[in-house]
Amino acid sequence: MAKRLGEILIERGAISPEGLRSGLEACRRHGGRLGTWLVRLGLLNEGKLLEALTHQTGCPPATTMQLTTAPAEIRGLIPPAFAKRNLAVPFARQGRSLDVAMANPNDLLLVDEISRMTGLVPRPHVATEATITAALALSKPAAQVPAPVPPPGPPRATGREWRQFWRLESATQELMRALDAPELPAPKPLAATFPQLQPIATTEGAAPPTDAAGLADALANASDRDQAADLVLDHLAAGAFRVALFSVHQGKVMGWRARGAAIVAEDFHTLILPLDRPSIFLNLTKGVEIHAGPLGGGEGNGLLLDALGDPTPVEAVVVPVRVRGKVVAFLWLDQGADGVARISIPLVQEVARLAGLAIEILVLRQKVRAGARLTETVPSD
Residue 151 falls within a domain, yes or no?
no
The verdict on 50 and 68 lying in the same domain is: no
Residue 183 falls within a domain, yes or no?
no
The verdict on 46 and 67 lying in the same domain is: no
**Are 54 and 270 spatial neighbours (Cβ–Cβ below 8 Å)?**
no
The verdict on 42 and 110 lying in the same domain is: no
Q: pTM score, two decimals? A: 0.74
**Tens-level pLDDT at each residue, the chain (381 residues):** 568 999 999 999 999 999 999 999 998 888 889 999 999 999 999 999 999 999 999 999 999 899 989 999 999 999 999 999 999 999 999 999 999 999 999 999 999 999 999 999 999 999 999 999 999 988 554 444 455 565 555 555 444 443 443 344 444 444 344 445 454 454 444 444 444 444 444 334 456 666 888 999 999 999 999 999 999 999 999 989 999 999 999 999 999 999 998 899 999 999 999 988 888 998 898 888 999 999 887 888 898 999 998 888 999 999 999 999 999 999 999 999 899 999 999 999 999 999 999 999 998 988 887 666 555 555 555
Among residues 39, 57, 75, the one where a domain terminates is 57
Bond into 311 cis (ω within 30): yes
Among residues 86, 106, 137, the one where a domain terminates is 137
The verdict on 347 and 273 lying in the same domain is: yes
Residue 174 falls within a domain, yes or no?
no
State the residue range of the domain holding 23. Answer: 1-57
CA–CA separation, 337 and 330 (whole Å): 21
The verdict on 2 and 97 lying in the same domain is: no
Bond into 379 cis (ω within 30): no
The verdict on 30 and 82 lying in the same domain is: no
Residue 150 falls within a domain, yes or no?
no
**Are 324 and 337 spatial neighbours (Cβ–Cβ below 8 Å)?**
no
What CATH code is carried by the domain that includes residue 337? 3.30.450.40
Beta bridge partners of 97: 94, 121
The verdict on 349 and 246 lying in the same domain is: yes
SS3 per residue for 8-40: HHHHCCCCCHHHHHHHHHHHHHHCCCHHHHHHH
The strands making up 121-126's β-sheet, listed across from edge to edge, are 88-94, 97-102, 121-126
Residue 203 falls within a domain, yes or no?
no
Q: How many domains does the chain have?
A: 3
Among residues 106, 137, 168, the one where a domain terminates is 137
* φ, ψ dihedrals at 259, nearest 5°: -130, 140
